[in-house]
Structure 1
Amino acid sequence: MGGIGKTALAVEAAHRARAEGWFPGGTLFVDLRGYDDDPVTADQAVLALLDALGVRDRDLPPTTERQYDAYRALLAERQDRMLLILDNASDPSQYVPLLPGTDHHRVLITSRDRPDALPVRLIDLETLASDDSVALVARALHDTDERDERPGCEPDALHELADLCGHLPLALQIAVGMLRRRRHRGIDSLVADIRDAGDPTAVLDHGSPGTDLYGRSLVIRPVLETSYRRLPPEQARLLRLLCLAPVAETGTEAIAALADVETEAVLLLLEDLAAAHIVTPVRPSDGTAPDMRWRLHDLVRVFGAGVVAGDARLREEGEAARERVLEFYVRWAAAADRRLRWLPGMAEPERFMDRAQALAWLDRERAGLVAAAGWAQEERFADAGVRLAECLGMYLYWRRYFDDWTAATEAARDATHRAGDLLGEAIAWGNIGLALRGAGRTREAIDAHTRARNLYQAAGDRHLEAGAWNNLGNALRQVGRTEEAIDAHTRARDLHQAAGDRHLEAGAWNNLGNALRQVGRTEEAIDAHTRARNLHQAAGDRHREGRVWNNLGNTLRQMGRTEEAIKAYGKSRDILREFENWYDEGRTLENLAHVHNAAHRPAEARSAYLQAAEAFTRANAPDRAVQARTRAAELPA
């Protein structure tokens, strides 16, 4: 893409190659100005090349055809190999006529466009890695003034500056120039300016220090504008809309919904944009994902969003596109959620044949789904954003993405509150409570569940109120308020029984058993867990049955019934593994290790701890994995 550093890399490569003696015949350089309003033609460039080769004035052939003949003849006669750099080409017609008629010499071409029709070797340049971006800025400042200690004193600000520049060499070069100018101010001052502006190009272009070593203006926006203006209308429209997608990397299906274009047609357009280095195709690391993904550079996204914001017609086009992609996400997130919650006897969800397919799709689309749920803050997208947030709860809990869950549900809470939707706001508060408890913020979770309960009571929904009591009881138990937890779970159980909801009644029995065990009422706890297990079995809910077996094992272990506890944990482990519930499997294996350790079986305990560590790693719980490995290492050999 523009500003990636193509010319700088080509020139540096040429200098190093000359130093190594690769091109004793020298180097020829022509700037074709391919993206200017008046690009250099091949006919103009050949005159410059002939001049560099010593052919000028009276020696210059009178016709263009003879000029090309003379140029090729000179190169063919040269015994010493030469390097020809044809820089900044926008079309093959600018450089194809300039290629030598011999393979003795070498040619290096830079362009923003991929010449896929030509048999040339292609070298794609990406933005710099984060550490390389930081090193570039630090070294440039040090080379100017070795007393400049800002990079070493402000490492966090330096990394943020590199991020804000999108790791684009042109933007980094401009930032370095601005920091040189404001040498008595910290790096954080420039970071603050860019962050406050919300558009890095506005700050960097305004403070640009002038021109680079090649006499080119150090500005970003005109580089992006020239690439955009060259696009055919359909590609330009797709780029504008893609800049409005929830995140920088999006799948083909979602882009097709955004643009209201068939998938095959949008794929062709995306490939054209990729050939112009405006979007970057992202291939899955394992090669198994069925939906190709596409990434936009952050500065391109800001530029495209600015183009849309400046035109009323384009703004309405953009809002309609955002509605389409949000509905796309809602449809398939709802289908995936139904698959995760599916029990025998329920209708089969569309698209996703099993849990693995649903989870794989949600994993790929997570960033976009969460960001799109945040659109609930905008009135036009509030209803769909709230629905999307509700669809993501089970998945985000399952994968333990509690920060994402909190962000999505807070947007839903605010939207439902503005609309005066008591039930919707109560649901959002309940989900916030679950996310907060998962993140270890239990006291805040208690407040959230209390708010949810009160809103359900105000709305007169006793069924949903029961769920709030159950969630509140779990949070209360976690902070040691066990008697209150027992009361909350009992209320939940009674309300579910009154409603005839055996499935949710089972959950209340299970949680009640945990609270009873915590206060030493183990016989009652066993009865509660047994009731929960039987109800889940009757409903065909093997996943929740697996979790009950773990809790039953805990109670049996507390009573000293070791062998029965081991069997219970084994049943729990097998079921949770079947459902790929790695976190709960890790907890069960940890409990199994505890009981083996108490029974003086160090080998079995060590094995269980190590299996728990592996499960926690897969569950995105690295702290628990480290803890399990540490306990395994502490056991006697």
Structure 2
Amino acid sequence: MSDHVDFGDGTFYGQVVGKAEYRQQAPAPTALDALPPRAAGFTGRDEELGRLRAALDPSGSGTEQAVLVTAVSGLGGIGKTALAVQAAYAAREAGWFPGGVLFVNLHGYDDVPVTADQALQSLLRALGVEPEHIPATADERAGLYRSELAEREAVLILADNASSPEQVRPLLPGGARHRVLVTSRDRLAQLGARLLPLDQLTPEAAYELLDRALRIAEPDDGRIAAEREAAARLAELCGYLPLALQIGVALLAEDPGKSVAELAGELGTSYDRLAALDDGDRSVRATFDLSYRRLPDDQARLLRLLAGAPGPEVSEEVAAVLAGVEEAPLRDLRALARAHLVERGNSRGCWRMHDLVRAFGAAVAAGDAEARQRLLAHYYRWADAADDRLMWFPGEPEPERFATRADALAWLDRERAGLVAAAQWGREQRYADMAVRLALCLPHYLEWRRQLDDLVTVSRAAQEAAHSAGYREGQAMAWNNLGLALRQSGDAGAAVDAHIRSRELYQDLGKRAGEAQVWNNLGSALVEAGRVEEAIDAYLHAHELLHDIGDRAGEAQLWNNLGNALLKADRIVDARDIFVRSCDLYQVLGDRNGAAAAWNNLGIALSELGQTDDATTAYGKALAIREEFEDWYKAGQTMENLALIYRRTHRPAEARAHYLRAADAYTRGNAPQEAAGALACAAFLTAPEEPTDTPAQASPPARTADSALPSPHPPDAPGTAVR
């Protein structure tokens, strides 16, 4: 630089002042270690961290091609940024990125997201490029960005909160030694990235996060450890979502006198749980709202409808019904899945959403009564048809839609949770009639699958809804089904009371067919309650009515149940003769499922009479039918009865084999306690038995005669399927 100024041949008048400007030539500042701080209490992501480390490893994780881009995606508040930052720190500490770490928040879900061009300018400045040297066009900026990276050692670029591939593509480096780590609420599969979808924390990790984060605020704060059960409940109410858990920690930290149980109670009883998950700085609702506002109208409506659907999962069939369209809205479902607002369910063709997303969707929904009415009508139509198929035997009209029992059971299994939840909508007056009709279609299936809690719930909901709506015949049917449910659940006394209520209503209505069925069911409840003589009187009342109205199917069932009462009364020969009559009538009617119960019970009577060969034959007939119908619970009972005969006749190997088969059948029939009992008997038989005609102490008693479950709804009930 010259230390003088040459004015040449200029002519000057007056005083001349010269001004000189000196610039120090120094490099522009860089920001190559700009990671945000690690999240307080970070825990529970060991597997995901391992996968990110493998992707960021400069060796390429042993694969043929290095992973240039890794995209972490998940629901808002799921902890994507916390995981990415943790992985970036680990990578720096491992010495994998000596060139530094660039960080840019793309604010992809804000009202005004950062454009790729704006992000490039920010990254170029972070790399030390003077603002005046940043090119004017986007393509030139991208070229300079790649050139700058090409001259550096390995750099990690963390692009946080991207909402589209277009925000990220210009930020990709040209060289393979660099890595890009992206976080997004959407699956950015178009980037050709290694994809890492992030799910909610496990209950154990959620508990650990609560404890760690609260101890960071106050090292001596032991509330989480002191209230483990309440902490588990709090974690569940937070949906195991890291953002919600951190908010819960903040609420506890700002009020040291509040117990964990108190906070969990507030969240559990709050009309609007999302409003409670707000610490003044962070809000779960606000986080979800950023994603929701980006949805097109059709997707936003579908999200609201799915949030109001019954059951934890929604089939594509139900999604179409809710949306009022013929075909499943697969395009919108997949779009919501890419945004992590829904995800694939456990069953094929089913979808589910996070509990807090469901709460958000229900809160923003104005309520769609028409959608609920459509779904109730849809559920009733096909539950009724499925029930018809389960109860069908040759000679009856073919039920609609379901060609086989397996088809009907598959549909009912898939929709069970939704059916049970929708049946409870009847507590709201406008849905009562259809919800009661739906509920009356479900008891036979629920008993078949041993879903006894659901059976009681559905039956009680139907009774309450029918009472509220003044639907007296519906009340009669619902009380009857509730009695059946209570008896199956082991509460015989309450079952007797329920059947008496049903009988009185049918008598007042003059419905003799319904009254006959209830007398029959009342007899079975009285047998279970140990009131055998009263049960026999009830069966005789039923027989008189059934004979008068010509209900031969009801008579076949009645003989079976009466035989059971006679067994309880030690009238074994009379019971045997009655069971034979039941078997013969079931065979004439072609009702093989009913015949299975009668054959099983005949086997018990014959066994008690010492006619073991005949008993074995009867059990074999019952077992063949029950296995054919996949009635696994009752098949297990028959197998145990056979095992007992083999034990009494000193054939332990065959007895053990049947106990093992019974355990397998019980497992398939959702009866784990019975399965464990059968396994215990099989284990007992691995030791030598005493040679005696008396069963050993560990030997189970013969199964009591089992009454076939009557129709869930009377055949002459208006508004229900007529058989």
- TM-score by length of structure 1 reads 0.93
Residue 117 of structure 1 aligns with which residue? 190
Residue 242 of structure 2 aligns with which residue? 169
Matched, 1:83 2:156: yes
Contact kept, 8 Å, 2:313 with 2:350, in 1: the verdict is: yes
CA deviations over 1:495-541 (Å, ceiling 9, x no partner): 11111111011111001001101111112111110111111101111
Residue 21 of structure 2 aligns with which residue? none
Give how far 1:65 is off: 4.2
SS at match of 2:655: helix
Residue 214 of structure 1 aligns with which residue? none
Matched, 1:304 2:352: no
1:235 counterpart (299, 317, 322): 299
Give how far 1:134 is off: 2.1
Give how far 1:283 is off: 5.3
Residue 655 of structure 2 aligns with which residue? 605
Residue 280 of structure 1 aligns with which residue? 343
SS at match of 2:498: helix
Distance 1:15 1:526 in 2: 79
Give the structure with higher Rg (CA).
2
2:181 counterpart (99, 108, 112): 108
SS at match of 2:363: helix
Residue 458 of structure 2 aligns with which residue? 408
The one-letter code of the counterpart of 2:375 is V
The one-letter code of the counterpart of 1:305 is A
User: 1:196-595 residue pairs with structure 2 within 5 A?
Assistant: 196-205=269-278, 208=279, 210=281, 218-264=282-328, 266-282=329-345, 284=347, 289=348, 292-309=349-366, 315=367, 318-595=368-645
Matched, 1:618 2:668: yes
CA deviations over 1:250-279 (Å, ceiling 9, x no partner): 000100000012325x11111111111111
Give how far 1:61 is off: 4.2
CA deviations over 1:178-197 (Å, ceiling 9, x no partner): 12223322211011111111
Distance 2:246 2:78 in 1: 11
CA deviations over 1:58-88 (Å, ceiling 9, x no partner): 544455544332211011112x211101100
The one-letter code of the counterpart of 2:302 is L
Contact kept, 8 Å, 1:257 with 1:325, in 2: the verdict is: yes
Task: Give the 3 Å change call, closer, same or farther, for CA 153–559 of structure 1 in structure 2.
Answer: farther
The one-letter code of the counterpart of 2:77 is G
Contact kept, 8 Å, 1:255 with 1:325, in 2: the verdict is: no
The one-letter code of the counterpart of 1:39 is P
Distance 1:397 1:601 in 2: 33
Mean alpha-carbon deviation: is it higher for 135-144 or for 397-406?
Answer: 135-144
Task: Give the 3 Å change call, closer, same or farther, for CA 584–63 of structure 1 in structure 2.
Answer: closer
Distance 2:210 2:486 in 1: 39
CA deviations over 1:323-361 (Å, ceiling 9, x no partner): 111111111111111110111111111221111111111
Give how far 1:56 is off: 2.5
Distance 2:271 2:235 in 1: 15
Residue 213 of structure 1 aligns with which residue? none
Contact kept, 8 Å, 2:312 with 2:417, in 1: the verdict is: no
The one-letter code of the counterpart of 2:116 is A
Residue 79 of structure 2 aligns with which residue? 5
Distance 2:625 2:509 in 1: 38
The one-letter code of the counterpart of 1:193 is E
The one-letter code of the counterpart of 2:411 is W
Give how far 1:175 is off: 0.9
Task: Give the 3 Å change call, closer, same or farther, for CA 101–458 of structure 1 in structure 2.
Answer: same
Q: Which 5+ residue runs of structure 1 have no aligned equivalent?
A: 211-217, 310-314
Mean alpha-carbon deviation: is it higher for 274-283 or for 456-465?
Answer: 274-283
Q: Which 5+ residue runs of structure 2 have no aligned equivalent?
A: 1-74, 689-723
User: 1:11-160 residue pairs with structure 2 within 5 A?
Assistant: 11-61=85-135, 64-78=138-152, 80-160=153-233
Residue 312 of structure 1 aligns with which residue? none
Structure number having the greater helix percentage? 1
Contact kept, 8 Å, 1:248 with 1:301, in 2: the verdict is: no
Distance 1:428 1:108 in 2: 59
1:187 counterpart (260, 263, 282): 260
Give how far 1:118 is off: 3.3
SS at match of 1:391: coil
Distance 2:299 2:429 in 1: 30
Task: Give the 3 Å change call, closer, same or farther, for CA 603–65 of structure 1 in structure 2.
Answer: closer
Contact kept, 8 Å, 1:177 with 1:209, in 2: the verdict is: no
